[in-house]
């Protein structure tokens, strides 16, 4: 079955710096890659997603890249702000089955 | 739309008792997912349904766990008998079905289960 790895597990950055989170997946049939943000005590919420026919997608300060050949995808957050502090989960989806990575705890230091 | 609704929000029970968690998906969504979240194991997919039919229950940890979706607007996750290691936050999520491909999942607020 699908296996999703995510690195780093924790990340601290200074406000205004960039943050990068990387994921790898194993199932070549996966074709949809969402990223979820979960604030403490809250539910996961989608922040950006990318499908396998696209290599890069950007939405304001966040961007995602996908390398299907290498089975890698990454989340980039620029100009980080304290409210970006949360746990971020990547996921890989194959035929509606979603497998989440273990999460990255991001701390943005003011 | 009120979003995905889960009840109860918190449940404290004693080992051996039966626990039933409930979920109402967003109207019009065809897919429903049950997840368990713990510090040790992260966010685990337990089971998911498409059009009320269970598609994959390979994540259900043991026979003590069962899930049903009797209609498009209601699903239950039952644990019988419960054990302390079942303590976790259980999320329900729904999604519009997109055949052969994934789509955004909308999570409910979760049920925090504590088994003493």
pLDDT tens series, chain A, 110 aa: 788 999 999 999 999 999 999 999 999 889 999 999 999 999 999 999 999 888 899 999 999 999 999 999 999 999 999 999 999 999 998 877 889 999 999 999 99
What end-to-end distance do the CA atoms of chain B give, in Å? 36
Compute the distance between CA of residue A1 and CA of residue B100 in angstroms, rounded to an integer: 17
Residue by residue, DSSP assigns B5-59 as EEE-SEEEE-TT--EEEEEEPPTT--EEEEEEEETTTEEEEEEEEETTEEEE-TT
Q: Regarding predicted confidence, which is higher, A94 or B100? A: A94
Closest CB from B45, B97, B98 relative to A98: B45
B111 CB near a chain A CB, below 8 Å? no
- CB pair distance less than 8 Å for A95 and B100: yes
Instruction: Answer yes or no: are the C-beta atoms of B26 and A83 closer than 8 Å.
Output: no
Quickly tell me which residue has 């059009």 as its tokens.
B51
Instruction: Answer yes or no: are the C-beta atoms of B90 and B34 closer than 8 Å.
Output: yes
Residue B101: pLDDT band (50, 70, 90) is low
- pLDDT tens digits along A32-59: 999 999 999 999 999 999 998 888 999 9
Q: What local confidence, expressed as pLDDT, does residue A59 receive?
A: 93
């Amino acid at each position: 079955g699908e296996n999703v790895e995510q690195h780093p597990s924790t990340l601290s950055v200074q406000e205004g710096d960039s943050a990068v989170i990387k994921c790898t997946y194993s199932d070549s049939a996966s074709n949809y890659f969402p990223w979820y943000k979960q604030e403490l005590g809250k539910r996961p919420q989608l922040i950006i997603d990318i499908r396998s026919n696209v290599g890069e997608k950007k939405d304001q300060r966040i961007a995602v890249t996908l390398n299907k050949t290498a089975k890698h995808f990454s989340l980039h957050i620029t100009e980080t702000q304290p409210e970006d502090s949360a746990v971020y989960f990547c996921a890989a989806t194959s035929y509606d089955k979603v497998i989440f990575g273990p999460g990255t705890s991001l701390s943005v230091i003011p | 739309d009120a979003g995905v609704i889960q009840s109860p929000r918190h449940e404290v029970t004693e080992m051996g008792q039966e626990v039933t968690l409930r979920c109402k998906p967003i109207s019009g969504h065809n897919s429903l997912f049950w997840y368990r979240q713990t510090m040790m194991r992260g966010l685990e997919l337990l089971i998911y349904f498409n059009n009320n039919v269970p598609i994959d229950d390979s994540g259900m940890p043991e026979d003590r766990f069962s899930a049903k979706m009797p209609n498009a607007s209601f699903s239950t996750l039952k644990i019988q008998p419960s054990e302390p290691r079942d303590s976790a936050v259980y999320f329900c999520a729904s999604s519009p079905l997109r055949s052969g491909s994934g789509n955004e999942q909308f999570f409910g607020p979760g049920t925090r289960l504590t088994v003493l």
